[in-house]
Each structure stands twice: as structure tokens, then as C-alpha cells.
Amino acid sequence: MTAPLFAIGLGTGTRGARGNWLEVFYPAPLRNVDAALAAALATHCGYAGGNAALEPSAQQLAALATALGAAGHEAQAAIAGQLAGGRGAPVITVLATDAAPASVPEAYLKLHLLSHRLCRPHEQKLDGLFAVLPNVAWTSEGAIEVAELPARQLAARVAGRTLTVHGVDKFPRMSDYVVPAGVRIADAARVRLGAWLGEGTTIMHEGFVNFNAGTEGPGMIEGRISAGVFVGAGSDLGGGCSTMGTLSGGNKALIAVGRECLIGANAGTGISLGDRCTIEAGLYVTAGSRVTVIDEAGAVVKVVAARDLSGGSDMLFRRNSQSGAIECLSNRAAIALNEALHAHN
């Protein structure tokens, strides 16, 4: 086996009452795995090629830990050793190629690769992800199959405990699986596993980041980064603002926000923004919005659909208070983030 494998994750997860996987935790996934690790998996865990989710025994994991240590994969060896001596359900997921996820372990490995910053948004095939992921009750006692929830709640009460349900969703909180270095997240429930947060990113209480989306960092996020959207360094998304993702109303266009942009409070964009762009508070610019382009002398140049301006830099979008028209002017001022406010030390 000469070609490197796309990715490998050693982890443990939760099964439902029917034996189906609900979720999987991979503490240190690897991308572009060398042949030595693949050979160790073949020898000790029966890996026979292709994309696979292996469920090794404690004995297999112990032997794998020894082999990985000898091959110089100390971190993976330590994980295999812990899995061998633990009570959880171990799983080793191998992705030989980047194919659409076909199982819960494969889907969770791909989401981990994003949040560990090993794959950037749109670098993986995630087709069919929603169909693969089960809807899960995320509780104070871990992941629970929704159908099992009433019985588990009763059992907890009888035992003198209260089972708290944090949410019912296909995606868990990212921070329960991955906390990337150098970020601040005020409300962990508002960042899904599969978000990509660059160092220096601050997610305030009203900020939200979906899977396969994120920020280059540094940046201040008080608005919504929808699925598929990536925000450049130094940009500020104001409170309650929105970016239109690939899951919004059948939208297929990939929306990007460039560097040093400002989207004002309760504003939004359905087009890509280049660098140093500003959208004034309360203004939502969709692809079909009619925009009056004004030059630096204040003269009207043309009226276009906003999609024709998508990706442009140095643009200021505002609403004319008299006519109500959306105007686009040249924006020469970059947005400078407050260094003290955004320090993460």
C-alpha cells in the first residue's frame, strides 16, 4: 500500500439500543497517513483496504499500541492504549480516499478533520452527510437515541438525578469534541462540530458557526456564519447579522467574506464580499437586490443586481435614507479590530 491514506481516526463512541452508532470522538485524527500506520492497522486490526470503520478488541488495540509506538506514532499509540483499557466502544475509522461519508464513524471523522483544522471548508466531500447522521438527544449524560430518551429520563429521576437535555440535533457542540487553540467561544452551544475556527477568532454569545464553515481568524463574530461560508482575517460580523449559506433556500453559491470587512448589526449578505467591504447596520444585500453604484464624485454610474458586484473589494453598501435605494460606494477604510479586546492570552 504505497499511496497515503486520506485520514485515520482512533476513537470511541456511543451506540443506541439497536447497536447503531450515535456519535464518535476522535481526540487526534490524522490526515495523509503513511504506509507504516496503514500496515499496522492491517496486521493488528484486520484492515483490508478502502474506507472502513473497524471495531477492534482490547487485545488488538494493545498490539496496535505497541506497533504504533515502535513506528514513531507516540500520540496514536497512547490513544490506542487508552482505548484498550477503557469501557467505551472503540472504533478506528480509515478513509483511504475522500469519498462521501457512508457511516456515522466516517461522518464524524470528517467533521473532526474540519474542527481540528486539518481540512478547510469545501476541501472534503460531504455529500449525503445529513442522511448519514442520526438525530440525537445531547444530554448531561452524553448522547442518547431520541426513542430511548423518556426511559432514560425516568431512570435518572428514580435514581435521584435530573437528566438535562441540551439539544436534539444531528450535530453536537464542537467544544465537546474539539477546542482549537487560540479561540474564544462565549456560548459553546452556538458552534457546531465541523466548524473551522482560525486562531484569534472570538465567537460572542449571539454568534453562530455552522459545519463546513468558519473563520480565518482573527475576527469578531456576533452574527451567523451559515454552512459553506468562510470569513477572512480581521473581519467583524455585528450582532444579529447573517450570511446566506449553501443550505439557505436552495442557494448553491459559495459565499465568502474577505479580510477586514464589517457587516453591521442585523445586516446580511447573500453575495461574496472581497476585502475591506462594509454593509451598514440593518441592510440585507441579496443576490437579486438592485444596487445603485456611485463613484467618488457622487455620480450614479449604473444600476445592477448585487450578484454582479459579488467578490468585489472596497465596497460600502448603504441604504439611501430618502429614496430607500441600496447604494454602493467605494470604501477606502479598512476595519481594524481592537487588539486588546480580541486578545486570547
Q: How far is CA 7 from CA 2, 118, 162, 236, 280, in A?
A: 14, 10, 39, 33, 43
* H helices present in 212-295, as ranges: none
Active-site annotation, residues: 222
- Cβ-count burial of 62 within 10 angstroms (0-12 exposed, 13-18 middle, 19+ buried)? middle
Distance linking the first and last C-alpha atoms of the chain:
44
Q: Is residue 104 within 8 Å of 133, Cβ to Cβ?
A: yes
From the CB of residue 303, how many other CB atoms can be counted at a distance below 10 Å? 12
Q: Is residue 278 within 8 Å of 335, Cβ to Cβ?
A: yes
Q: Which residue is listed with cell 477503557?
A: 86
Measured on CA atoms in the order 267, 268, 269, 274, is the torsion positive or negative?
Answer: positive
Judged by DSSP in three states, 210 sits in coil
Please list, in sequence order, all residues whose beta carbon lies within 8 angstroms of the beta carbon of residue 240, skipping any fewer than 6 positions away.
Answer: 206, 222, 223, 265, 266
Strands lying side by side in the sheet with 195-197: 195-197, 213-215, 230-231, 256-257
* H helices present in 28-126, as ranges: 35-45, 58-70, 74-85, 104-115
Phi/psi for 276 (5° steps) reads: 60, 40
* H helices present in the chain, as ranges: 35-45, 58-70, 74-85, 104-115, 129-132, 149-158
Residue among 271, 262, 264, 223 at smallest CA distance from 244: 271
Q: How far is CA 251 from CA 19, 108, 125, 264, 312, in A?
A: 36, 25, 18, 22, 20
Q: Is residue 197 within 8 Å of 191, Cβ to Cβ?
A: yes
